[in-house]
Structures are given as structure tokens and as C-alpha cells.
Structure 1
Amino acid sequence: MLRECVLHPYKYYILATTPRTLEDYLVLKNGDSFAVFNRYGDIVQERLGEEGLYHQGTRFLSRLEFVLCDTRPFLLSSAVRGDNLLLTVDMTNPDIFLEKELFLPRGVLHIRRSKLLFQRGYYEEIMIENYATQEIHLPFSILFGADFADIFEVRGTVRKKRGTALQEIASGNQIALRYTGLDSVLRETILSFMPQPTELGTNYAIFHVHLKPREKATLFLTVMCKGEDAPETPTLSFKEALSKTRQSLKELRKNTCIITTSNEEFNAWLDRSYSDIFMMLTHTPYGLYPYAGIPWFSTVFGRDGIITALECLWINPSIAKGVLNYLAATQAQEENPEEDAEPGKIIHEVRLGEMAATGEIPFGRYYGSVDATPLFITLAEAYYQRTRNLEFISRLWPHIELALQWIDHYGDKDGDGFVEYTPSPNGLINKGWKDSHDSVMHSDGSPAPPPIALVEVQGYVYQAKLHAASLAKALG
């Protein structure tokens, strides 16, 4: 009922009904997929209801729980490894009773869940080891579900209508959860279990394990997110997926300048920074692009990508090249008020979910940013100074010229020499780096009336024109 009671003037307001700390969640990301778990490694809809497995703006898994003899195990520890590739959860059993008799004393089972993402797949290994002095036979279950919610639904936007949930298809060790969206795209969550469950229902899988003292049992779960663009790729084993993620990280590190110092604490901080940057980097058809953040912003943002590329230019210029390629390829070519698009303008945000495809939100390709266009020119010049790749700049030059034309014609519509913006009826109210609806105000707290010429944007424009002149001189 809470979502139906939202009264707020800004339609894309992100609900925040309970406090959240970094310790609340464990996060994995790979490519266009990311997952948010609780400390048990489960996906349950508590607090803000944002846990799940997401791919390209859709939640493909909204429930995933491990249950031992109808109860939740005791948590020992959980963490994402330092390189952000692998999440591990260590648990043990509580006291388990059978017909009021103690059947299994607490702490005799070690349960380890190891999980990772690769491409559009989620891979989990569940290991159960018996430390009791006697043989045990017990059931455990995996509970699952998929609501196929658009990420804007999850963050609080109310939809008038949703697509259609289809009948599940189960066969052997596999079940497909299916949904057809209002965009006519069939989305499927395909869960595969190894070994085959004793019983497989529409939202649960039951297993029975028989363990001698010090014996282990291992279960593997694979979840594939399948949509309109899903290529036919062979399903990997957990070990193969882990190997491929490690190889991808190895390639990134090989092409990056790695900094070390004589201070171990400083080195640990650098390692953490490298790992986080590598996690956010996503391979696109145009090269590497650093996505903006998890959970709500795991996608392309123009300003965020440019600034990250500038910050990383010295250690890995291929990030800047990928960002420039992507932004040039998506640069606006015509006016479209619904998308805040104007010829020469650099993209603000790209969304690939159902609501973007149907036009329920304007962010499929959205250009509501006043600063990304001059910053695009600045990144191009900085990339040239770092690499001296004049051939690339030559190919990019028409896009730089178009960006300059946008600054002079569309950015400064009233000809007063200032680049300014006005709110969009269906998009963002504020269009600088502080783009919350209430972020630009006078000292008394009242909102600043449009048009708004942000001071930093004027500096960006001046800098961009100096940098464009530098590139023009280099090109002759």
C-alpha cells in the first residue's frame, strides 16, 4: 500500500522509508547485470524492497532464499571478495528439533554459499559439510521468484498497468519463469539445478542430502536472464564462469597502470579503488564505459562517464576512448522535446528496461544534462594530450563541432552569453551535477526560478572552447 500513498511533486522521486547502511547489502556486478543480496546471500523483499538480480533495467529474480529444514541457518560471516568477483556466505545450522526431540544440535553443519555474475548469468555453489559424529539425512530448499519489475518500479514509480506473467515451464532440473512486457518483449528467468531436485515446484526446489561424518555435498544453481537480445550461448559451469571473470579482470589490470607505494595502508586503499573501478567498467560495442552506480544508476550516464574517464586518464586512457566513442555514437542529431534532445547535445542517461521502451519514462535515450556537452569536448582534448592519437581525434572532430554548435545555439537560446536550462515537463527539473528536483535554491531555501545558468557550467564552456581551439590547431 505504501507505493500507492506516495504524494510527491516529482514523479521520479526515489522512495526512502527506512535507513540504509553499506552493511545492509552485498553487491555483485558484471556487464549489464548486477545483484543485491542481504547478509545471508538471500534475496528477500524487506526494508526498501530493492534486493534482486537485475539485467538491463529489469529485475529477473525478486526472491532467492536458502532454507534448511524449514528454518534459516545461523550466519557466521559474509563478504564480497576484495576483487569484487566472488561473494561468499558462511553459515551453520541452528538447533533442529524433530517431534520435540533435538534432532541436530547447532553448529555441526558448515554451509558455504559462493556466488558470482558473468555476462547475463548468476552462478552459485552451495557446499554443505557434516561435522557431526553420526550420519545425517536432512532436507533443504531453494525458494525463488521473479516479478520482472522495471528498476523504476522498484525505486518507487507507480505504473498504471503491467505486462502479463506467463505459465512457468519446468523440465527435469530446470524451470523457466516468464513474463511478456507492455513492450511485447518476452523475458525469462531460467533456473537450472545440479543435481536434480527431489521436488521442483513453481517457486521452490527441495533437496535431500545424506552425509556421513566429514562428508560434503555440493549443489550448483545457475540463473540466466533471457530477453529480446539474448544470444544463444552455452551455459557454463560455476568453475568455468569463475575462470572467465578472473580472466576478464586480468586483462583489465594488464592494460592499466598499477600504482604501488611503500605504505601498505595506502596500497590497500588503491587496491580497493582499482577493484571498484574495474567492477563498474562495462564492455559496450564502442569500448569500455564506467557505469554510474548500483543499484539505481548501473547504466550509462554522460557526465559521470566523462568525469570518471578524466580521473582515470593517466592510468588507463582506453576508458576515455570508450566513453568518447559511445557519446559520439549517441550524440543527438535532431530535436525531440520528450527526450530533451537537441542537435549536438551529449546524452545524459541511457535505460534499457520495459518502461523506457514503452515511453513511460523518458530515459531510454535522455539528453537532460546541461554540462555533459562541454565536458565531452574537454575529455577529447585531454585524451589527445595523453595519447597523441590524432587519427582518433580526426574521426571525432565532426562531433566536437556539433557540440560547439549546441553550446552557442541551443545552450544559450537568449543570446546573453550564458548557457542555461529550463525544467522539462516529463524529465529532469535541474540539469547540472546537482540534478535533484530541489537541489538549486536561494539562500532562504526557495527554489531558483528558471532559466538557470549554473556557475560551473560557464567555466566548462570556456574551458571547452579553449580545448576545441587546441584540437583544431593540432588538426591543422
Structure 2
Amino acid sequence: MAESVTAKVQNTMKAALRGFQDADEVLPPYHIEAQTSLTERPLRALKYGESFAVLDSYGDIGVQPGPEGLYFQDTRYLSRLEFTVEGQRPLMLSSVMQDDNGALSVDMTTPDIRLDAHDGTTIPREVIAIERTKFLFKGACYDRIGLRSYDSRHRTLRIAVTFDADYRDLFEVRGTDRPRRGRRAVQVASETEVQFRYVGLDEIVRTTALHFGPTPKTLEPGKAVFEVSLPPGGRASLFVRVVFESHRAFISAPSAEQVGEDAAAKLSLAAGSSGGGLRHPKGLSEGTIFARAYRDGRRDLRALCAGITTIISSNDQFNEGACRATADLYMLASRTPEGIYPFAGIPWYSTVFGRDGIITAMMALWIDPNFAKGVLRYLASTQAKAVDPAADAQPGKVLHETRRGEMAMLGEVPFRHYYGTIDGTPLFVMLAWEYYAVTGDRETIARIWPALELALAWMNEYGDRDGDGFVEYARDTDKGLENQGWKDSHDSIFHTDGQLAKGPIALCEVQGYVYAAKNGMAKLAAMLGHDALAERLTHEARTLREAFDAAFWNEEIGTYALALDGAKKQCAVRSSNAGHALFTGIALPERAAKVAEQLLSKDGFNGWGVRTIARGEARYNPMSYHNGSIWPHDNAMIAMGLARYDLKQEAARIFQGMFETSLYQDQKRLPELFCGFMRRRQRGPVSYPVACSPQAWAAAAPFAFLAACLGLEIDHARNRVRFRNPILPPFLDGISIFNLKLGGSRLDLKLHRLADDVTVSVLRRTGDAQVSMVK
């Protein structure tokens, strides 16, 4: 069947391409432009709260064009920071993120340096060791450059730090042009401090202060020069502390509207993470300030991830990847008044995204349910309360993203508080049930119950625009996103001939999310004593499942259609979206094997993972963002769906491909996505040029893969941990799970493969939770 479909598509492809090629030549709004690839050189990411830094492997910023910078609230507060010795970059020895992502550590040495071209005076390379440490903490970026001489002669070195602050909005860095900008100024404030100040068109004053220690020999608006004396065996340290903050230019009595806006804005601030670190505490050296911040930052990070579930496997490489994934999750986590929230990814999406946060929390639920709790409470508190076409908002709809940069504040981009996501609202309700099933946290469910009811009302009223029982989307203004599912590229929803679908569009996976949401909401309603509501929702879910199969199943392509367009015509395209129908359980049992067959066919599975769009479809492009690429989180959700229908071998095959993908990645970190080219012998997967790394839902994916293959079920109501028909992929002989939580119980478990079987042993148990295995 796949070959005949492919042949048919290829026969019509040229004619179809002529029909839409011209329209595709215009860059869509909010496109991420790329003149250089993020994969050309290793980049390092640091994050704390609403600030993050993208650095090159030296720890420098802006030496080459790209997204490097120090950012706070979607604005680049530092666009250049380069360290040189006698006018030259040091020689790189190693550049590593510490295991917990708490700091970047760089080891370097001096190159061969010609001090005097006339008499031949030189400093030979490798006689001065340089160790650099950088981290972010509470409104400041800390940078220590340590030098140690292994030379037999006394040396005096000129060390320069060149710097600048351009205050570009993140959307400008991504490629959006702006006709007007605010006013920038710079001054040398003291012999150890330079201040940059930018007054934006939004009347926000953004400042960057660079503090140096010890006192530089010369200090200019864009350069500090130190003279360092190193006797044989001598040591020296230089410190650069970058403090960033923002405040309103004019203070006036707030209107009622402003009070509401400020209250909403506060929810996006991580507690303790706003700008404005200590400028220069009286009597303290920069070295002491650095040491105290480093100590406090480590304590803060340990507190954030204290008590989580951890895993150790028989495979050291998987252990390394799992350690990095855990560290990424907690680096991306930001504290809000409602709990921790995983920001989506660095560099483009380091902010709250509703869909991303929900899916990340789902996949990490058994590792740490606090992610789910924070996400649920935050999204409930920011749920839309009124119709706002500019924000694609209607009452009950869940937030898509929030931005704090100048362009968002001015409305140049619509993302200040933007609700243009069709799937966030049902996913929100799905997560509520899954969180309760694992934790039994009735208090949180009762607290967000009004928001869950509003979300349900939105699905039935605003979500179902034509009353046909399906939830569909269409943007309210031409500034909103054209496509509002997780595949939100302008060209991601199309027909067999390649023509873009016209809305309102009902996506395959969204109907599954609605189905699961209504089933979950029914169980929550029954728990709270709302029996009539529970009965009605159960009936609605059953009816939706039948209607979905009738409308979306396509026998010719052997799977569920990608979507229905505004005329209820199928977009009969083979896509990974159909795997989400397995994830949510809306797929009929008799369809599951066929869906799996398509997903894991040569057109769907490239050897590393399942493509977003199958090879041979009209708009298939393995280098595209959504039309043939491979996303780890998408594959993890598919694997969870396969496991739901007891297709564990298929789930393990995807897990195997993703593990092998991680072996080729810097720091064994799964990226946001990579290209869908067919796997070739003795070659790794092909990178996507502007993929975020780290990305929250990619970081959570390994834990979802593992839970899927193990058939892990945590059931608070039954006080039971169950493994349903567990298997282990070929690269794992065993796995140990420590501190698995169920109510007041804590469990340490070991699963081991014996031939084709898997056994489970309880290593430690506190409390009365039961452990069982079902085959």
C-alpha cells in the first residue's frame, strides 16, 4: 500500500509544486532566519529564571554572528564579550558544562605569543594555564578567569575583555526587521564599572552594568584591559560580573487595566530571578561575591531537584544521557508563584509555552510530579477570561506563550499573552487527570477545578466552531499563527497534492486530546461527586471516538488522516500525528497495528526515529521544520501510544533509534529536532540548523521512552506500582529506579532482562505501596 501511495504522490508532485511554489517563496511571519547553522560550532547554554546565556565554547559572546548573548525577558542585554591575551584568543583545551548544568567550565592555554617582532621576544604556548568558570544566578552573570603560570620566567600579560550591549529583541535576533528602536547610551561609571542603558519604545529602561575585579589598567565604554603579573608558579584571577535589570521609565498611578496586566505579568516572573543583582556589596571583593554566588547557586539547584526519582542502567552511555536530560529539565525549570514551570527551550523559546510545558510535565510525571503541579496551577491562573481576537483568546482557553520583550510589549508581535494553540486546552485537562491518578492530590484538583470547567466549556463552544463534535482552529487576525497545533509552520497542514488546507482545520491528534480530556474529566468529576457530569462526559467521549474513526480513518493510506479542512475533506497524508491517536487511546483497537505499520515503515521511520511527514508525501522535506523532520518528543508520545496498545517491540525500536541518536549529539543531549534523511551506515543523524538545545520536551523524552517500554503504571487509588508486559530495548540489560514515589511510600526497584523476559525486584520499600507485574 505504501509503495502505491508513494508512486501516486510522485506522479502528481510536479504539477502540484507549480501550484504552490510561488507562495512558499515569501518568508512566513516569525520565521527564524539562518545565515549560519547552530551546528557549525558547539554552543553552551546557561539559564536561571527568566535569564539565559548562549555562549561559544570559550565562554565568549558575539565573536561570530549568531544568537549568542546574555538575555533577560526576551531581550539581549549583552551582545559581545570576548577575552583575549596579548590580542589573541587562547588555545582551547576543553569546554564542558558541569554535570548539573550549574556552570560552564573551560580550560585553555596561551598560544605562541610574539611580544616584539623586532627582537623576537615570545611567550611559548602552553606555559600559562587558563581556567574559566561562568554561571547565572539571580540577575547576574558571573565570570571568573583564573591563570596559573608553569613558566620558569616572570611574565607580565595584557589581558583584554571587549564587550557591548545591543538590546535587540529576541525576535530581531531571530530575523524580524524593525523600522524604529529606542535610545541607547553607555558610560564608564567608575574605575571598575561600565553601564549600558537602553530606553525602549515601550518606556522600559533596560540596563547592563559590567563590574570588573581587580581594577583594570584601562577601562573604556567597550573594553577593559588588565595587566597581570605572573611569577614562576604564580596565580591570578580576573572577575567580570554582568548585572542586568529593567524598570519603567515613568512612574504614574496605574489604571485598572494596568493593574490587571501587571498581575498577569507577575505570573511570568520566576521568584528571585528578576534582574537587578547586587551591584557591589560594600566591602566585598569581586572574588568574594563570585564565591558566594557560586555557593548559593549550587544550593538553589540542589533544592530544586531534591527528592526526585532517579535511574541507573546497565549502559553507561544511557546513564550519561539520562543525567544530562535531568540536568536540562531543572535548568529549564523556572520558579513562579504557582510552582516550577519548564521553559520550552534555548535560545528561541526560553519562556512559558502552554503546550510544551504540559507535554514535558506528562513525560516527566513519574520522575517529578512537581512539574505537573506547577504547570497546572500556572496555566489555570493565566487562562483567558474574555474574547480578544488579537491574542486569539476566548474564555477558558489555555495560554500558548507569553513574552516580555519590547516587540511583544508594543504589539509588534502578538505574543505578550498569546492563546493561539488549539491543543493546549484539552492537554491541560488531560494532564490534570494524569497528575491526580499518580499523586491523589485532591487539593490541587479542587483548586483548579473552575479552570477545568472553563476549559471544558471552551472545547464544546469556541473549540467546536461548527458544532460537528470536532475541535478545529482558525486564527482571528492575520498576525496570529496560521497553524495552531504543535506543527505550527505555515505549510504543515496540506492535502495529498500539496495544496495547503483552508480552515477551520480539525487536526487528527487534537481530537484524541479532547477524547482523553473528556475521559479524564469524567473521572475527576466522579471523584468530586459530580456524577451527572461524569456520565455526560463519558458518553461524549464515546461518541467522539466513533465519529473520529468514521471521519479520519483512510483505508487507502492505511492510517488516520492528518486533518480535516474547512470543507471536512480529509488531508489524506501519512504523518506522525496518527501516532498521537494511539497515545490518547482514541484509535480503535483494530486500527492500532496498521497505524504502527505505517509509522515504522521505511517511509515513516528513517532508522533514527519517526518522521513528522512520511517520505513520498507532496511536501515531504527531510530538512523542514515540520514536514519530514524528526522530533524526540513526538517519537516519545508515539512510543507511549504504541505501549498503550501493547505494541512494545515497536516502542522499543523507536527508543533504540533515539538512544543511538543521542550518542552522536554534543553532551548526549537530544535536540529539539533533527533532519529526516534516511539512516546511513557509519554516519550519524543529520542536524537541523536552528534547533534549540536544550529543549524541555526533548529532555523529558528518555523518561517517557523508558516508562513506555516498562509499561510503568503508578496508580494512587490502588496504592500500586505495576509493570504491564515490560520489555527492555537491546541496549539495556537492566535498569534500577530509586526513590519512586507513591503517596507516602518510597520504592527502589530493579528490572533485569533474562533472555526475552524481564524480572522486577524490590530493593527497598518504605510505606505499604504494592509492586506487581502483569504479562
| TM-score normalised by L of structure 2 | 0.59
CA deviations over 1:279-332 (Å, ceiling 9, x no partner): 111111211000110000011000000011111111211111100111001000
Name the % identity: 49
Query: Which residue of the partner structure matches residue 364 of structure 2?
Result: 312
Alpha carbons of structure 1 residues 327 and 189: separation in structure 2 relative to 1, 3 Å: same
Residue 230 of structure 1 and its aligned partner are, at CA, apart by 4.1
Query: Which residue of the partner structure matches residue 422 of structure 2?
Result: 370
Q: Report if the CA contact (8 A) 1:28-1:35 is conserved.
A: yes
Q: Report if the CA contact (8 A) 1:351-1:365 is conserved.
A: yes
Alignment pair present for 1:75 and 2:127: no
Residue 169 of structure 1 and its aligned partner are, at CA, apart by 4.3
Alignment pair present for 1:219 and 2:238: yes
Structure 2 counterpart of 1:187, from 179, 189, 206: 206
| Matched AA of 2:39 | T
Q: Tell me, in whole angstroms, the C-alpha distance in 2 between the residues paired with 1:289 and 1:413.
A: 31
Q: Report if the CA contact (8 A) 1:144-1:204 is conserved.
A: yes
Q: How many residues align?
A: 470
Q: Tell me, in whole angstroms, the C-alpha distance in 1 between the residues paired with 2:296 and 2:34.
A: 37
Residue 20 of structure 1 and its aligned partner are, at CA, apart by 2.9
Query: Which residue of the partner structure matches residue 98 of structure 1?
Result: 115
Query: Which residue of the partner structure matches residue 34 of structure 1?
Result: 52
Equivalences for 1:395-434 in 2 at 5 Å? 395-423=447-475, 424-434=477-487
Query: Which residue of the partner structure matches residue 171 of structure 2?
Result: 152
Query: Which residue of the partner structure matches residue 4 of structure 1?
Result: none
| Matched AA of 2:57 | R
2:29 match: secondary structure: coil
Structure 2 counterpart of 1:120, from 129, 136, 139: 139
| Matched AA of 1:88 | S
Equivalences for 1:226-265 in 2 at 5 Å? 226-228=245-247, 230=275, 233=278, 237-265=289-317
Structure 2 counterpart of 1:135, from 154, 157, 162: 154
Residue 446 of structure 1 and its aligned partner are, at CA, apart by 1.9
| Matched AA of 2:321 | W
Alpha carbons of structure 1 residues 232 and 248: separation in structure 2 relative to 1, 3 Å: closer
Q: Report if the CA contact (8 A) 1:36-1:53 is conserved.
A: yes
Q: Tell me, in whole angstroms, the C-alpha distance in 2 between the residues paired with 1:138 and 1:351.
A: 44
Alignment pair present for 1:338 and 2:338: no
**After alignment, is 199-208 or 435-444 more displaced?**
435-444
Structure 2 counterpart of 1:161, from 175, 180, 203: 180
Residue 126 of structure 1 and its aligned partner are, at CA, apart by 0.4
| Matched AA of 2:219 | L
Alpha carbons of structure 1 residues 96 and 22: separation in structure 2 relative to 1, 3 Å: closer
Q: Report if the CA contact (8 A) 1:34-1:55 is conserved.
A: yes
CA deviations over 1:178-202 (Å, ceiling 9, x no partner): 1001111111111111111111100
Q: Report if the CA contact (8 A) 1:32-1:119 is conserved.
A: no
Q: Tell me, in whole angstroms, the C-alpha distance in 1 between the residues paired with 2:449 and 2:39.
A: 45
Residue 83 of structure 1 and its aligned partner are, at CA, apart by 1.3
Residue 116 of structure 1 and its aligned partner are, at CA, apart by 0.7
Structure 2 counterpart of 1:88, from 105, 114, 120: 105
Q: Tell me, in whole angstroms, the C-alpha distance in 1 between the residues paired with 2:70 and 2:179.
A: 24
Query: Which residue of the partner structure matches residue 8 of structure 1?
Result: 26
Alpha carbons of structure 1 residues 437 and 45: separation in structure 2 relative to 1, 3 Å: farther
Residue 95 of structure 1 and its aligned partner are, at CA, apart by 1.9
Q: Tell me, in whole angstroms, the C-alpha distance in 2 between the residues paired with 1:167 and 1:249.
A: 34
Query: Which residue of the partner structure matches residue 222 of structure 2?
Result: 203
Alignment pair present for 1:351 and 2:413: no
Q: Report if the CA contact (8 A) 2:140-2:275 is conserved.
A: no
CA deviations over 1:225-261 (Å, ceiling 9, x no partner): 1112645757672211221221122113323112233
Q: Which has the larger radius of gyration?
A: 2
Q: Tell me, in whole angstroms, the C-alpha distance in 2 between the residues paired with 1:70 and 1:261.
A: 48
Q: Tell me, in whole angstroms, the C-alpha distance in 1 between the residues paired with 2:88 and 2:317.
A: 41
Q: Tell me, in whole angstroms, the C-alpha distance in 1 between the residues paired with 2:345 and 2:222.
A: 30
1:40 match: secondary structure: coil
Residue 172 of structure 1 and its aligned partner are, at CA, apart by 2.4
Residue 266 of structure 1 and its aligned partner are, at CA, apart by 3.2
Q: Report if the CA contact (8 A) 2:50-2:351 is conserved.
A: yes
Alpha carbons of structure 1 residues 39 and 267: separation in structure 2 relative to 1, 3 Å: closer
Q: Tell me, in whole angstroms, the C-alpha distance in 2 between the residues paired with 1:108 and 1:263.
A: 39
Structure 1 counterpart of 2:77, from 60, 78, 93: 60
**After alignment, is 105-114 or 304-313 more displaced?**
105-114
| TM-score normalised by L of structure 1 | 0.95
Give the CA RMSD over aligned residues: 1.7
Residue 265 of structure 1 and its aligned partner are, at CA, apart by 3.4
Structure 1 counterpart of 2:490, from 437, 441, 446: 437
Residue 268 of structure 1 and its aligned partner are, at CA, apart by 2.3
Residue 270 of structure 1 and its aligned partner are, at CA, apart by 2.0
Residue 98 of structure 1 and its aligned partner are, at CA, apart by 2.8
Q: Report if the CA contact (8 A) 2:138-2:277 is conserved.
A: no
Q: Report if the CA contact (8 A) 1:45-1:62 is conserved.
A: no
Q: Tell me, in whole angstroms, the C-alpha distance in 2 between the residues paired with 1:318 and 1:249.
A: 15
**After alignment, is 165-174 or 201-210 more displaced?**
165-174
Q: Report if the CA contact (8 A) 1:95-1:102 is conserved.
A: no
Q: Tell me, in whole angstroms, the C-alpha distance in 2 between the residues paired with 1:136 and 1:248.
A: 40
2:225 match: secondary structure: strand
Q: Report if the CA contact (8 A) 1:139-1:208 is conserved.
A: yes
Alignment pair present for 1:44 and 2:62: yes
Structure 2 counterpart of 1:24, from 42, 46, 53: 42
Q: Tell me, in whole angstroms, the C-alpha distance in 2 between the residues paired with 1:350 and 1:342.
A: 16
Query: Which residue of the partner structure matches residue 3 of structure 1?
Result: none
| Matched AA of 2:436 | Y
**After alignment, is 371-380 or 37-46 more displaced?**
37-46
**After alignment, is 168-177 or 296-305 more displaced?**
168-177
Q: Tell me, in whole angstroms, the C-alpha distance in 1 between the residues paired with 2:85 and 2:188.
A: 26
Residue 339 of structure 1 and its aligned partner are, at CA, apart by 0.5
Q: Tell me, in whole angstroms, the C-alpha distance in 1 between the residues paired with 2:391 and 2:203.
A: 22
Query: Which residue of the partner structure matches residue 285 of structure 2?
Result: none
Q: Tell me, in whole angstroms, the C-alpha distance in 1 between the residues paired with 2:479 and 2:138.
A: 33
Query: Which residue of the partner structure matches residue 325 of structure 2?
Result: 273
**After alignment, is 242-251 or 432-441 more displaced?**
242-251
CA deviations over 1:384-443 (Å, ceiling 9, x no partner): 111112122111111011001110110111111111111441010100010111111122
Where structure 1 has 5 or more consecutive residues not aligned to the other structure, the ranges are 1-6
Query: Which residue of the partner structure matches residue 679 of structure 2?
Result: none
**After alignment, is 33-42 or 254-263 more displaced?**
254-263
